[in-house]
Amino acid sequence: MAPRWFESIIGGIIGSILGSSAVAYYIFHIQKQNNIAMDRINHNIGRLDRALDKFNSSAGDLMGAMDGLAFTQESEDREERFY
């Protein structure tokens, strides 16, 4: 049988290895979850950016159409009817 102090040292070494492995795994798991969350955030930012691009282009088309309609004879006739 090994002396108690030797068993204590071996037990401490094994415990510290297992403990540090558990901490390393926990940190890795948290980092993995953060990476997944950041990927989702970046994906949603990209979707929002594409939606805003579409909205801006549609708004520009709408403003162009409104500007085109504002200076036609029909629009001047409509203004006279409203006033």
Task: Please list, in sequence order, all residues whose beta carbon lies within 8 angstroms of the beta carbon of residue 10, skipping any fewer than 6 positions away.
Answer: 2
| Rounded Cα distance, 34 and 73, in Å | 60
- 16-50 pLDDT per residue, tens: 888 888 999 998 888 888 888 888 888 888 888 88
Q: What is the per-residue pLDDT for 78?
A: 57
Q: How many CA atoms lie within 13 A of 31 on its CB side?
A: 6
Rounded mean pLDDT, 54-59: 77
Q: What pTM, to 2 d.p., does this model score? A: 0.47
Rounded mean pLDDT, 50-78: 69
Smallest Cα–Cα separation from 75: which of 66, 59, 60? 66
> Is the predicted pLDDT of residue 64 greater than 60, yes or no?
yes
> Is the predicted pLDDT of residue 1 greater than 70, yes or no?
no
